[in-house]
Structure 1
Amino acid sequence: MNNNKRLPHTPPDTRHRIRELAYFRMIHESDLVCRQSTRMDRRTFAILCHLLRNVAGLSSTEIVDVEEMVAMFLHVLAHDVKNRVIQREFVRSGETVSRHFNIVLLAVLRLYEELIKRPVPVTSNCNDQRWKCFENYLGALDGTYIKVNVPAGDRPTFRTRKGEIATNVLGVCDTKGDFVYVLAGWEGSAADSRILRDAILRENGLQVPKGYYYLCDAGYPNAEGFLAPYRGQRYHLQEWRGAANAPTNAKEYFNMKHSSARNVIERAYGVLKGRWAILRGKSYYPLQVQCRTILACALLHNLINREMTYCDDVEDEDEGDSTYATTTASEDIQYIETTNEWSQWRDNLAASMFTDWQFRNA
């Protein structure tokens, strides 16, 4: 994010007044304008700055204070604007904009423990129709493609089936659509199952306590901790619309309920990319910076969901019992392996769900 083009000479006092006006208009004029500029209302913006100062150790530099650098950073994420746009709006040099973007980016990543969500398992007394059938369900996972900028020699492995140069990002969210784990950096050609195995094995990777599980699509193995749908059966929600398309057996009913519950990760990705345009456009950043940016966007997504009292792109859902799924490392699932026991458990669950549905609709 570097642009060395020199700005026209402007007296220092004039530049300072222009910056103050740009910052005031972007952040303090109204919650509406603040949300349009940064995706946060004024209160949430203040909370973020407080966390960055007091938890992440971010401090003002000699020329830019914390609030201004955070405002510039969020505006870039929200609108995917070029360096020169921020130069013009804040009357800053390209080097200043680029340097402070990276300073704030690293500070946001230091808020990981503060902002990453701890999953809450679904309990037996859950009343939400989407996941009441899935006791001990933690959430859902899936991959998504986000464009990246890589050297020419690496492009073949980063090329997706659609021909885009992208990283295959593994995202895991809870029932509220907050991210509990994000892994970016894998090549666009990499298989989803391979990325999941890496996430389980790596240090500080995805933790899945034994006895709990995430929902995943058929691109992943149906293995302990990861409940996949039945292959060869109808699955997508639109296939069940209308009385004539009602499930006719246990596997179909299971797939219908699975699709409804797993849809939370699709909605989470939709909200994430809708908020942060930098995840939708062509990337001009080095791969490492883009991967850091992806994780930062997920953390800020969680902050917005947590703090904003009005948010038109996120539903307010009941979290239920806030008993977190916690274990020691030895109690976490260490590898992914399809077993007869896990397949039989899925069959029993599907049969129980279908029988209960038939009884209620008799």
Structure 2
Amino acid sequence: MKKKTKATILASVASVLLVGVALLRKLRRRRRQLPRAPYVNHAAEREEYINSVLHGTERHCVNQLRMKPIAFHHLCHILTEGEHVRPTIHMSVTEQVFIFLHIIGHNVRFRVMSSRIYRSTETVHRYFKVILRGVLKLYRALIRLRSEDTPPKIKNSRRFYPYFKDCVGAIDGTHVRASVPPEIQGKFRGHKDGTTQNVLAAISFDLKFTYVLAGWEGSAYDSRVLNDAFTRPRGFSIPNEFNDRPPENEQELFNLRHSSLRTTIERGFGVLKKCFRVLDAEPFWSFPTQVKVVLACCVIHNHIMGVEPNDQIMEDAMNQVESSDHQQETQSHRESVEDSRSWNAKRDEICQAMWSNYTRSGE
């Protein structure tokens, strides 16, 4: 009986093994029949994508990188010539700059960019930091006062000259969205919703930034930020029409003409944020990097204006800014009290001279 039971068990095991072998053979046959995924040459695909942008239409390049090919190649040249950025065995300077510009222009995440160019997220992040450091090294060369001479916009206008002959540009602050740890978010909550950093900038009448100070908390008053700019070793220094109704006194005339000059800074900020979407979106990197990105965007803006001042995206952005309604923020009582008496005296002097000439000649 025992021998019979043992034989039965062995027969059962043998049949199970035979069934298993048959199943394995069947699965192998099916595996051979499944089509394999096509081989993708990542290097070739990456090169084709970059070339399609840089050697396609100018408009396509501007849409992707926020500048024309001539400005792109010139940027690569000055970064390489100054040894601010070097090619590596893994990536050319062209690709490094391409990645950086696409990210800040469209607020693209590192992982999204990595899938587009077949690179790892870590690689994209690393070279983004490389180009960011390189661009910031161009700050002193590209963001500075061009001349202390009276700008043509003022010198060639009877409305502005000689009253504003010492004016070389406009200065103001703007808020850029910021992402900070919860324990310090209170300091970064200013006039706008959410957390922001307060960015002070001066801009010339040809829409080039001449000074930028970023990183202040959104709750900081503009006057505090300005005082900080004055006290820094390499800080900021100053070389000494709303309706159809005509102005009725010297104060109205001054305000009318002064505001038309001041809109320069508003247009500058508007164009900057239209071109670089990263400045108007929730940041996804550390706060020190957020501050550097603001400065880098201003540097690249000046680079574009220097190489291609009539760049289509700049023109489109300017038109959008000019057609939109600008909402001015009112000064707090504390800020208004901080206006210097010397400026008030200077303003009154200009008002009187301007009004005297206006009532005499009508200009």
TM class by smaller structure: 0.7 to 0.9
Task: Find the counterpart in structure 1 of residue 297 from structure 2.
Answer: 297
Q: Does 1:109 align with 2:136?
A: yes
In the alignment, structure 2 segments of 5+ residues that lack a partner are 1-36, 316-337
Determine if contact 1:178/1:302 at 8 Å carries over to the other structure.
Answer: yes
Instruction: Specify the SS of the correspondent of 1:143.
Output: strand
Instruction: Please report how far the alpha carbon of residue 142 of structure 1 lies from its aligned counterpart in structure 2 after TM superposition.
Output: 0.6
Instruction: Please report how far the alpha carbon of residue 85 of structure 1 lies from its aligned counterpart in structure 2 after TM superposition.
Output: 1.8
| Partner AA of 1:150 in structure 2 | V
Task: Give the 3 Å change call, closer, same or farther, for CA 172–29 of structure 1 in structure 2.
Answer: same
| Partner AA of 1:349 in structure 2 | I
Task: Give the 3 Å change call, closer, same or farther, for CA 23–359 of structure 1 in structure 2.
Answer: same
Q: Distance in 1 between matches of 2:146 and 2:194?
A: 33
Q: Distance in 2 between matches of 1:311 and 1:155?
A: 38
Q: Does 1:351 align with 2:316?
A: no
Task: Find the counterpart in structure 1 of residue 185 from structure 2.
Answer: 155
| Partner AA of 2:293 in structure 1 | T
Instruction: Specify the SS of the correspondent of 1:49.
Output: helix
Instruction: Specify the SS of the correspondent of 2:284.
Output: coil
Task: Find the counterpart in structure 2 of residue 172 from structure 1.
Answer: 202
Task: Give the 3 Å change call, closer, same or farther, for CA 131–119 of structure 1 in structure 2.
Answer: farther
| Partner AA of 2:210 in structure 1 | V
Deviates more, 1:101-110 or 1:342-351: 342-351
Task: Give the 3 Å change call, closer, same or farther, for CA 16–260 of structure 1 in structure 2.
Answer: same
Deviates more, 1:93-102 or 1:57-66: 57-66
Instruction: Please report how far the alpha carbon of residue 117 of structure 1 lies from its aligned counterpart in structure 2 after TM superposition.
Output: 3.3
Instruction: Specify the SS of the correspondent of 1:138.
Output: coil
Task: Find the counterpart in structure 2 of residue 318 from structure 1.
Answer: none
Instruction: Please report how far the alpha carbon of residue 344 of structure 1 lies from its aligned counterpart in structure 2 after TM superposition.
Output: 2.2
Instruction: Specify the SS of the correspondent of 2:220.
Output: coil
Q: Does 1:82 align with 2:112?
A: no
Q: Does 1:199 align with 2:214?
A: no
Task: Find the counterpart in structure 2 of residue 232 from structure 1.
Answer: none
Task: Give the 3 Å change call, closer, same or farther, for CA 202–341 of structure 1 in structure 2.
Answer: closer
Q: Which string of whole-angstrom CA distances, capped at 9 and with x for unpartnered residues, describes residues 282-320 of structure 1?
A: 1111111010000000010001111016323557xxxxx
Q: Which string of whole-angstrom CA distances, capped at 9 and with x for unpartnered residues, describes residues 204-257 of structure 1?
A: 111223xx2xxxxxxxxxxxxxxxxxxxxxxxx4xx312xx3211101110111
Determine if contact 1:55/1:111 at 8 Å carries over to the other structure.
Answer: no
Determine if contact 1:117/1:302 at 8 Å carries over to the other structure.
Answer: no
Determine if contact 1:79/1:276 at 8 Å carries over to the other structure.
Answer: yes
Determine if contact 1:166/1:187 at 8 Å carries over to the other structure.
Answer: yes
In the alignment, structure 1 segments of 5+ residues that lack a partner are 1-8, 213-236, 316-336
Determine if contact 1:105/1:293 at 8 Å carries over to the other structure.
Answer: yes
Determine if contact 1:253/1:354 at 8 Å carries over to the other structure.
Answer: yes
Deviates more, 1:114-123 or 1:250-259: 114-123
Higher helix residue share: 2
| Partner AA of 2:150 in structure 1 | V
Task: Find the counterpart in structure 1 of residue 119 from structure 2.
Answer: 92
Instruction: Please report how far the alpha carbon of residue 201 of structure 1 lies from its aligned counterpart in structure 2 after TM superposition.
Output: 0.2
Task: Find the counterpart in structure 2 of residue 49 from structure 1.
Answer: 76
Task: Give the 3 Å change call, closer, same or farther, for CA 19–131 of structure 1 in structure 2.
Answer: farther
Task: Find the counterpart in structure 2 of residue 222 from structure 1.
Answer: none
Task: Find the counterpart in structure 1 of residue 22 from structure 2.
Answer: none
Task: Find the counterpart in structure 2 of residue 270 from structure 1.
Answer: 270
Determine if contact 2:62/2:313 at 8 Å carries over to the other structure.
Answer: no
Alignment of 1:102-251 (within 5 A): 102-120=129-147, 121-122=149-150, 126-128=155-157, 131-132=160-161, 133-209=163-239, 212=240, 237=241, 240-242=242-244, 245-251=245-251
Determine if contact 2:175/2:197 at 8 Å carries over to the other structure.
Answer: yes
Task: Give the 3 Å change call, closer, same or farther, for CA 130–50 of structure 1 in structure 2.
Answer: farther
1:23 to 25, 47, 50: 50
Instruction: Please report how far the alpha carbon of residue 10 of structure 1 lies from its aligned counterpart in structure 2 after TM superposition.
Output: 9.3
Structure 1 residue runs of 4 or more that deviate by more than 6 Å after TM superposition = none
Task: Give the 3 Å change call, closer, same or farther, for CA 241–111 of structure 1 in structure 2.
Answer: same
Q: Distance in 1 between matches of 2:159 and 2:106?
A: 33
Give aligned pairs, total. Answer: 302
Q: Distance in 1 between matches of 2:38 and 2:174?
A: 45
Determine if contact 2:66/2:313 at 8 Å carries over to the other structure.
Answer: no
Q: Distance in 2 between matches of 1:145 and 1:91?
A: 35
Instruction: Specify the SS of the correspondent of 2:169.
Output: strand
Instruction: Specify the SS of the correspondent of 1:177.
Output: coil
Task: Find the counterpart in structure 2 of residue 325 from structure 1.
Answer: none
Q: Distance in 1 between matches of 2:89 and 2:124?
A: 14
* RMSD (Å), alpha carbons: 2.1
| Partner AA of 2:126 in structure 1 | R
